[in-house]
Chain A
């Protein structure tokens, strides 16, 4: 069927889609995180510690994601009281703290990284997770929780006056995003077979941000599209492969100037 090379591309595509969705969820609420790399790192390291200790893959994945979700609650709490830009800075700082932490944490390898990870990730698992994650987001948007998130994004004063608990909704969305990023981290670690702190640095978070900004923040398919374009473009255009960041950086600037709402500007799948 698919050659091993394209298997690899698809797996990375799936991981990036999960990351994109993980950022999309808090952004629906208006919380912009530049620290998804940090949650991914937590999910990765925790999952690896567990699989190395003999735990089944699913358990390790979920456990890693749960720890990331708790981190999401901790990081999200101060984010409740501050405005948008500050949330970006806060999450950026969080991502860096996680990176510096794992760079120095000897039990998980410190600066030399962590190797010998069992190769447990398979394509079908990633495809399944992506489908589930997308359905989750799509369905939530149609329901009460989704409406509450959108209401908070557009006008949180009015949202609160309508009976929406800002704290609970925002924390839940932030934490859910962190959970999914943790799952992505777990998958990544058990495919790359070697991880170190610098693989989850700011450029990881910035790329995740790019997926969502490119694809659009209104439509749940946006982050999927954005991740697909950014992951597959280097495969198609050689120049993109060599000058990846330059191309995507320029892309970000162009999007910011001409199409700040992203490619998919309408909700489309709205009921």
Chain B
């Protein structure tokens, strides 16, 4: 039973990890808290839903749709809402203000278009069940885990071995120096947003498959949890985001199984505040100073 819960937690945690990685990528390169990222995740979920509803495609195509739409949205946001601020380069507060604004816009627009209620996310995957003896997993859970693992592996490969990946890492060390050394900062930032948003979009579709329902409000909740995970793992640390996501997923599932389920959501924030008090730099420090 406990192992079953652990397995469930890992499934859930991998979606948190994907969202948190998105946050941490943007923060790593731009030192920007992308408060609209949760809404991008939500838009990705709806994109996947539309593909399933209209064209009756399966979950895999939904995934692609979510990924692509989210990536495009992320890039549009960067060009429209964040690049102008970056070019003017003065206030440290302005970029975050802009992300809050973008998030509000996205959420309301989606609410108007799709209604505020939860929309079911139909999927046949949930009906497939695998009995592995000591644990029970559904098809959708296997799918989620597989996609999450593949995504993170691809990301790792991208960041470590490709030119753009290296440029991203250089930019996250020091944006100005990277620019002086010839890195095209504008492109790197755009790619960062695209990759981060794509991961968010994938997570959105996965969450839709997992819970069989999505709503325009899922962005806010996941958004804050994603930030909490980023903090727990350490700002700017991709691996921290992965580990933090898994931790949160497991903690949440265990809390539902063994404690009052209604407080489940508070665990994310509780853990986050605990980390801020005890170890603000998170589990894996990446050289970004948290303390004054």
Contact = CB atoms under 8 A, between A and B. Distances in A.
Indicate yes or no for A touching B, C-beta below 8 A: yes
A254 B266 CA distance: 33
B104 A89 contact: no
B127 interface: no
Interface in A245-260: 245-246, 248-253, 255-257, 260
A136 B106 CA distance: 38
A158 B157 CA distance: 46
Contacts of B85: 256-257, 260
A81 B280 contact: yes
A86 B290 contact: yes
A97 B91 contact: no
B104 A248 contact: yes
A256 B94 contact: yes
Contacts of A82: 276, 280, 290-292
Contact of B96 (A88, A93, A96, A101): A88
Contacts of A103: 262
B180 interface: no
Contact of A243 (B90, B96, B108, B289): B108
A250 B101 contact: yes
A79 to B, nearest CB: 8
Contacts of A8: none
Contacts of B80: 253
Interface in B132-191: none
Nearest to B87: A257
Interface in B83-141: 84-85, 88, 90-98, 100-109, 112
Contact of A104 (B98, B106, B263, B289): B263
Interface residues of B, number: 49
Contacts of B98: 252-253, 256-257
Given A81-B291, A82-B280, A252-B100, A90 B33 contact: no
A202 B93 CA distance: 18
A255 B97 contact: yes
B227 interface: yes
Interface in A73-121: 78, 81-86, 88-90, 92-94, 96-97, 100-101, 103-104
B292 A83 contact: yes
Contacts of B277: 78
Contacts of B106: 249
A19 interface: no
B254 interface: no
Most chain B beta carbons < 10 A, residue from A83, A245, A251, A253: A253
B90 A94 contact: no
Nearest to A93: B269
A100 B291 contact: no
Interface string A255-271: 11100110000000000
A67 interface: no
B51 interface: no
B290 to A, nearest CB: 6
A152 to B, nearest CB: 11
A97 B290 CA distance: 22
Interface string B220-257: 10001001100100000000000000000000000000
Most chain A beta carbons < 10 A, residue from B90, B100, B105: B100
Contact of A206 (B100, B266, B276): B100
A46 interface: no
B6 interface: no
Nearest to A100: B266
A256 to B, nearest CB: 4
Nearest to A201: B220
Contacts of A253: 80-81, 97-98, 101-102, 105
Interface of A: 32, 78, 81-86, 88-90, 92-94, 96-97, 100-101, 103-104, 156, 202-203, 206, 209-210, 213, 243-246, 248-253, 255-257, 260-261
Closest 8 CB pairs of A and B: A252-B101, A249-B104, A249-B105, A245-B108, A256-B98, A260-B94, A93-B269, A260-B91
24 contacts: A78-B273, A78-B277, A82-B276, A82-B290, A83-B289, A85-B31, A86-B276, A88-B33, A89-B33, A93-B228, A96-B224, A103-B262, A104-B262, A243-B108, A245-B104, A249-B102, A249-B104, A252-B98, A252-B101, A253-B102, A256-B85, A256-B98, A257-B81, A257-B94
Given A88-B33, A97-B270, A252-B100, 13 more contacts: A82-B276, A85-B33, A94-B273, A103-B262, A245-B104, A245-B105, A245-B108, A249-B104, A250-B101, A253-B97, A256-B97, A257-B84, A260-B91
